[in-house]
Amino acid sequence: MKNLLRSIFVVTFAALLLATASIPSDAARRTAAGTSMYDGTWSVAIYTQRGDCDASVRAALRIVGGRIYAEDQSYQAYGAVASGGAVRVMIASGNRSASGSGRLSQNSGGGRWRTATGECSGQWTAERRNW
């Protein structure tokens, strides 16, 4: 009887190991679902260094599947983050728009921006708001 229980335990344990080994990791599921390591909500601070634009502006952006979207309805954001972290984005509000480029790491980033007309330019920094 002891050997029978031991055999049942061993077979059950082996089956559990095989079952969990066949479950894809969280990273594999994210990749398969078309997500990126940069997905989530980011707080972006935009600083003017040249021109007569607001000295600083803060925006919340959401990245989904490597694509950038506005978190707020008061402006639009379009762009993408490459797998290596390179960013290209365009933000528009009313008749004003600006484009930016830079790089994200796992939880922060930064780069440069300029208005569509070239009258203003500066730097931006980003920080991940949620994991």
pLDDT tens digits, 60-98: 999 999 999 999 899 999 999 999 999 999 999 999 999
- DSSP SS3 for 128: strand
CA atoms within 13 A on the CB side of 11: 6
DSSP string across 36-99: -TT-EEEEEEEEEEESSS-SEEEEEEEEETTEEEESSTTSEEEEEE-TT-EEEEEEEETTEEEE
> Is the whole model's pTM more than 0.85, yes or no?
no
d(CA 64, CA 59): 16
- Percent with pLDDT over 90 in the chain: 71
The mean pLDDT of 27-55, rounded to a whole number, is 82
Q: Which of 18-22, 53-57, 120-124 has the lowest mean pLDDT?
A: 18-22
